[in-house]
Chain A
Amino acid sequence: MINYVLRRVLVAVPMLLGAMSIVFFAMRVLPGDPCVAMMGDQATTEALADCTKNLGLNRPLAVQYVDYLWRSVQFDFGNSLRQGYPVSEYISRMFPHTLVLVLAAAVVAALVGVPIGIFSALNRRNPLIDYPLRIFALLGLSMPVFWLGILLLIVFSLRLDLFPLIGGGDLDGAIAMIRSGEVFTQPRDFLAAVADVLHHLALPALALGFTLAATVSRLSRSAMLEVISQDYIRTARAKGHHERAVVYKHALRNMMVPLLTIIGLFVAIALTGTVLTETVFTRPGLGKMLVDAIGARDYPLAQGAITVFTVIIITVNLVVDMLYAVVDPRITYR
């Protein structure tokens, strides 16, 4: 098992380097210059030349590339060209916002999607149940997150005034309290900060979670269908087990393997979804930061963000592979 993990980590290194190199060159192949993007229509020739020099963009591309890789190895992703903040600091401030959004959306997606998928599979011969559930899944798949997001905002934020319109809540405050230990000395303040974060999180998590739930329900449905047609299920039923026991004890655990497989994919979909969700709900976060960075040709920030995304996806896939062994004892790694 340890050997397997080590091997996977070693394979991840060239993958990461490859992704970083592609991003580095892709950003530079894109037409548009960071200085022009930054200075807009008020840029004079001299100012543009100065800006290019100050940002070190006048150096040969090969020099910039080697410099970038060398610094990245030392976890120094440089400074944002536009705002000057160190990229690592910037990302560490944005990352928690995206993380909580993805986690909350995953909870919503799992709580809504998995039961619907299973229920739909178990009642596949009852069109009154199966069809509406499948229509629900289709709706979720066809509904773009930005549309659903705006709808939720108009109804729950503007009309009913239940949720805030913008922002990510006092996440910085909550994290600072955890770090400083104030979470124990001032639990009320901490709870207030958490409530504020959840208050800001509810609508974005629902919007993103609901669109993801559709995918989850379809996949759970097909996973469950596959499992309940297996011989051991028939055997369990033949032994006279109650249907609930058959489903919970025999089918559910076995459908986890195909479900886990999609989690890796799911994280990638969720991360992509955060871009739109964060934009619609005007939330701070990595997704929106990445899109803005690409638009502004903020090379270091975009490179840093994509590196983080790559690391997340590689890690999640690795963890998922590890989990196979946990949910299915027949799988072992050597």
Chain B
Amino acid sequence: MSRQIRSRLPLVLVAVFTVLVALTLLGPTDPADAQRKKVLNIAAKEPDTLDPHSSTLGQSQAIARFMFRGLTRFAIKDGKVTTAEVEPDLAESWTLSPEGTIWTFKLRKGVQFHKGFGELTAEDVKYSFERQINKAPGTRYGVNLDVIKSIEVVDPHTIQIALKAFDPIFLLRMVGYQQGYILSKKAVEKYGEQFKWNPVGTGPFYFERHSPREKVVLKAFDKFHAGRPQIDAVNYFDVPEDATKLIGLEKGTFDLLYPEAVTADFADQVKKMGAVIDRRGPGGQERFYINMTKPPFDDIRVRKAFMHAIDRKAIKETMYPGGLARLASSCVPPGYFGHIPMQFPEYNPELAKKLLAEAGHPNGFTIKNYFISKSFFYPKVLTLAQEQLRKVGIIVELQVVEHATFHENIRKNLDPFVLYGGTRITDADPWLSLFFDSKEIPDPATGNKGTNFAHYRAIDDLLAAGRVERDVKKRAAIYAEAQKRIERDLVCLPISDVPGQWARNPKRVSTPFDPEYGEYSLHYSYNYPELLKVLN
């Protein structure tokens, strides 16, 4: 008998397998209840945390905006969202003391936290800021609140924030974004370190669950202070590959895509399938910083030659044809307070060669072991620049490395010029402070891992003056002067201003704002996810 069974084993296995295959074919396809329940399916990368004060990654900040809010928000003006002005959100009004150091915020009454954590009070606001100022483990943005001297709860709906000195961008710091998000004190105390996967805010969606490496599920918050969102649930899928995201958009698995990078090919495919790309300023800027202390770039003629050798327009058009990005006009991007257009040496390889010869490099020179990240836009932009530099005799021998290694190496000053990207609070002060303040010069000897890759020291005085200036026009003049000095010293060459871009299936999801720069945002996503609507 047993022999018989053994001899029939292959047949039995085949039968079992056939049944299983049949089962799979009969099994459910995509979540069909998405149709009835108004489920928004987003393809992005997996967030590293849902504590909005803790992550610097785009995908984590994008999802934070679905769950959290701040005292202020970017204003909606003439049907567009602007990063230049703020309006009340969790605070309904505010006043500034005559000497300019005490802000008093009146909180909106009746705002509820998710999951029964009660009404928002001044205690929660105080706690949200103090945990960052006191550098609770994992928090990243305390530095943006260093201006605060003390916080006092006047009554449950009034809070007074005393500053060490006047801060021209304080209301921008209070926007629901990074350090500005208000958390439930009770929830943070209850969950401790695990708050990062048990987030409790006042936003339009609350956290339901996280299946690691798969998805985060959010649900509509019935008691959201501006009214329940139309969407019932949000699935935030972990989809690292852009190619998979595109297939999912076409197939209808996803409604919104948060791509790693929007290339011409990506945009073409989105267009072909009848989807749209929502473009949000100010986005990130891709630019070169030239280390003015590292030979041969310590010679301004070599820096000028470098800039003449780079065809910015060609790089921008190759990377982001047409409307995919804008040719950068300044080392402080448009959309930031204080931005002025700057002049940069035009593309002229002959002039570049002449300048190199004058500087003692008639045959150019070779940069060995130039490190560049293998991720994002870095290798592509650098390869284009490499070819352009080669034409004037500057040979760049690339070492393509992991993103983490790249960050490590540029802070060891191993690259004489650094390609960099990113977005900051939309004001010239934080931007210029990070990239041009001498305190931020990276130095492996002292362990300083700052981002002043140009090793620039010429605007420290202006930065200090700008931080205390209360007159808006004078502040603007200070930052204009700073940009002129940077222009004079040739240490920064911006290439492209790349907007934040998500692909959207317009037959499935609508937004009230124009896809083409209808909103400015710092959230790596939509400012107002509660205004998104799932159609049909």
Write the residues of chain A forming the contact surface with B, with a CB cutoff of 8 angstroms: 30-34, 36-51, 54, 82-85, 90, 93-94, 107, 111, 115, 150, 153-154, 157-158, 161-168, 172, 192, 194-196, 198-199, 201-202, 248, 279-280, 282-285, 288-289, 292, 295-297
Contacts and interface: CB of A to CB of B under 8 A. Distances in A.
A38 B21 CA distance: 41
Contacts of B442: 45
B24 A199 contact: yes
Contact of A165 (B10, B215, B247, B448): B247
Contacts of B298: none
Interface in B230-283: 237-241, 243-244, 247-248, 250-251, 253
A157 B49 contact: no
Contacts of A168: 214
Interface residues of B, number: 66
Nearest to A172: B211
B194 interface: yes
**Residue among A32, A157, A297 with most chain B CB within 10 A:** A32
B138 A54 contact: yes
Nearest to A198: B24
Contacts of B243: 150
B401 A31 contact: yes
Given A41-B422, A83-B48, A166-B248, A31 B197 contact: no
A48 B48 contact: no
Nearest to B253: A165
A108 to B, nearest CB: 8
B23 interface: yes
Interface of A is mostly: helix
Contacts of A111: 13-14, 17
Interface string B400-418: 0111110111010000000
Contacts of B197: 83-85
Contacts of B450: 44-45
B127 interface: no
Nearest to B421: A41
A43 B440 CA distance: 11
Given A41-B407, A45-B447, 5 more contacts: A85-B197, A94-B213, A202-B21, A282-B241, A285-B213
A84 B212 contact: no
A189 to B, nearest CB: 12
A304 to B, nearest CB: 13
**A-B CB proximity, top 10 nearest:** A32-B404, A199-B27, A37-B404, A284-B213, A195-B27, A36-B407, A42-B56, A31-B405, A32-B405, A198-B24
B7 interface: yes
A295 B402 contact: yes
9 contacts: A33-B408, A43-B449, A46-B143, A51-B140, A162-B29, A167-B214, A192-B28, A196-B27, A202-B21
A83 B195 CA distance: 11
Contact of B240 (A37, A39, A279): A279
Interface string B28-47: 11100000000000000000
A164 B23 contact: no
Given A32-B404, A54-B138, A82-B48, A158 B251 contact: yes
Interface of B is mostly: mixed
A39 B407 CA distance: 10
Interface in B432-485: 434, 440, 442, 447-451
A39 B140 contact: yes
A280 B247 CA distance: 12
Nearest to B244: A282
A115 B450 CA distance: 62
Given A41-B407, A166-B239, A282-B244, A36 B28 contact: no
Contacts of A162: 25, 29
A167 B56 CA distance: 26
Contact of B449 (A32, A48, A85, A172): A48
A161 B17 CA distance: 21
A165 to B, nearest CB: 5
B448 A45 contact: yes
B420 interface: yes
Interface in B124-150: 135, 137-138, 140, 143
A303 to B, nearest CB: 17
Contacts of B215: 167
A172 B401 CA distance: 36
A36 B449 contact: yes
Nearest to B43: A166
Given A44-B450, A49-B447, A161 B48 contact: no
Contacts of A296: 404
A85 B212 contact: yes
Given A85-B212, A282-B239, A37 B253 contact: no
Given A39-B140, A48-B449, A165 B244 contact: yes
Contact of B411 (A36, A202, A297): A36
B514 interface: no
Contacts of A150: 243
A45 B449 contact: yes
A32 B402 contact: yes
B96 interface: no
B367 interface: no
Contacts of A166: 237, 239, 244, 248, 253
Interface in B200-217: 211-215
A323 B138 CA distance: 50
A107 B21 CA distance: 12
**Residue among B28, B214, B251 with most chain A CB within 10 A:** B214
A194 B240 CA distance: 26
Contacts of A289: 213
B213 A38 contact: no
Contacts of A90: 212
A195 B213 contact: no
B26 interface: yes
Contacts of A158: 247, 250-251
A282 B408 contact: no
Nearest to A153: B247
B452 to A, nearest CB: 10
A83 B212 contact: yes
B226 interface: no
A30 to B, nearest CB: 8
A223 B467 CA distance: 79
B157 interface: no
B253 A288 contact: no
B251 A41 contact: no
A269 to B, nearest CB: 21
Contacts of B193: 84
Given A40-B56, A157-B247, A32 B26 contact: no
A233 B223 CA distance: 79
A84 B14 CA distance: 44
B196 interface: yes
A198 B20 contact: yes
